[in-house]
Amino acid sequence: MIKINPPGGLSRRAVLASAAAIPLFAIRTRPAEAAEFTYKLATGQSLAQPINARLEQAVGRIREASGGRLEIRFFPASQLGSDTDLLTQVRTGGIEFLNISGSVLSTVVPGAAITNVGFAFAGYDQVWPAMDGDLGKTVRTQIEKTGIIAVSKAADNSFRQITSAARPVKTPADLQGYHIRVPVSPIFTSLFKALGASPTSINFNELYTALQTHLVDGQENGLVAIDAGKLYEVQKYVSETNHIWDPFWLLGNRRAFANLPDDLKAIVQREFDRASLEQRADVASLNASLKEKLTGKGLVFAEADRPAFRDALAKAGFYDEWRGKFGAEVWASLETVVGKLS
């Protein structure tokens, strides 16, 4: 099993070393014939992301707590396909569990994008009470309408920052005509178009090459993903925009989850909830040290004028457009947390 220090004593080196230790093939499991249920869990996140280490630990705890009745084989780092491929697989039953970002999930669950509204959240003091409360319930309801379910608390895919190769992005004017990679997500595309940029949707596992070949000028991601994907090798500047917060959702195929006895369902939810909470602590610890690390790798950090970006979005009609798309009830669940957006 991967060994990770508890959150209280967590170090960046421990997290990344533990995650990197995950093998490139399925995690070791008991023989399939020993299990009453044999399921698959896939992720599209790179091996160095803490979510993979925490999910691997959860898989082991589930096996032990179930007495070997439930075997979950773990396939991290896009082994079974890209994010969009994996979404199809979890919906059809090709895999039973999938960890995926809210931004990519929104391609099939449009309401999940409510957490991706640009420049909405001021910080984590708003994020976690909202996600563990009514806003999180709202998103879960939207997920369930499409035939899949969320089986744990949301984990942290971080506040996102804009990186670039040629110049820092400090104001909306710096994005005019700027070719930026975004996830396969309509709200990300809409956000950057409203700011005057030219967004291109590319899966994360293809991002490094897209930057290296100058298919796009820059991209936007959290510091953990920037570090894990070694994007510092092909980018120069990081603008601290915090323009979007994005969750990770652990999804389950509805039929496969329903087939589990109630005691196994309870074990799955308990251990995956624990994994999410521990991953949140991992990311908080990493974010505290990554700025220094990435500066040492050659990245130059720049402050961004967040109020100017929010004003530009309001003037471009971005908030009005998405209020109409989400509907008054879903939009109100966000504004209850972050205040009026206009």
Kindly list the distances between the CA atom of residue 237 and the CA atoms of 43, 106, 169, 225, 332, in Å, as whole numbers in the listed order: 28, 28, 8, 15, 36
Give the whole-angstrom CA distance, residue 197 versus residue 190: 10
Strand partners of residue 249 = 100
Q: The tokens of 199 are what?
A: 């967004």
Confidence of residue 184 (pLDDT cuts 50, 70, 90): confident
The model's confidence at residue 275, banded by pLDDT at 50, 70 and 90, is very high
State the number of CA atoms in the 13 A half-sphere of 193 facing the CB.
12
Residue 307 class from Cβ within 10 Å (0-12 exposed, 13-18 middle, 19+ buried)?
A: exposed
| Count of residues in the chain | 342
Section 285-313 average pLDDT: 96
* pLDDT recorded at residue 11: 52
Mean pLDDT of the chain: 91
Domain ranges in the chain with CATH number 3.40.190.170: 7-157+247-287, 161-244+294-338
The domain 161-244+294-338 belongs to what CATH superfamily? Bacterial extracellular solute-binding protein, family 7 (3.40.190.170)
pLDDT band of 199, cuts 50, 70, 90: very high
For 120, list phi and psi in degrees, rounded to 5.
Answer: -85, -60
Query: Residues 61-83: pLDDT tens digits?
Result: 999 999 999 999 999 999 999 99
What is each CA distance from 151 to 137, 253, 267, 272, in whole angstroms? 12, 10, 11, 7
pLDDT tens column, 215-252: 999 999 999 999 999 999 999 999 999 999 999 999 99
Q: Is residue 216 within 8 Å of residue 202, measured between CB atoms?
A: yes
Q: What's the 3-state SS for the chain?
A: CCCCCCHHHCCHHHHHHHHHCCCCCCCCCCCHHHCCEEEEEEECCCCCCHHHHHHHHHHHHHHHHCCCCEEEEEECCCCCCCHHHHHHHHHHCCCCEEEEEHHHHCCCCHHHHHHHCCCCCCCHHHHHHHHCCHHHHHHHHHHHCCCEEECCCCEEEEECEEEECCCCCCCHHHHCCCEEEECCCHHHHHHHHHCCCEEEECCHHHHHHHHHCCCCCEEEECHHHHHHCCHHHCCCEEEECCCCEEEEEEEEEHHHHHCCCHHHHHHHHHHHHHHHHHHHHHHHHHHHHHHHHHHHCCCEEEECCHHHHHHHHHHCCHHHHHHHHHCHHHHHHHHHHHCCCC
User: Position of tokens 């710096």?
Assistant: 174
CATH class of the domain comprising 7-157+247-287? alpha beta
Task: Quote the pLDDT of residue 119.
Answer: 98
Query: Tokens 């959240």 label which residue?
Result: 121
CA separation for the pair 180, 210 (Å, rounded): 10
Looking at residues 133-149, what average pLDDT do you find? 96
**Is the predicted pLDDT of residue 139 greater than 50, yes or no?**
yes
Residue 69 CB partners (closer than 8 Å, separation 6+): 35, 36, 37, 264
**Range 18-35 average pLDDT:** 50
Tokens found for residue 335: 């504004």
Rounded to whole angstroms, how far apart are CA atoms 169 and 231? 17
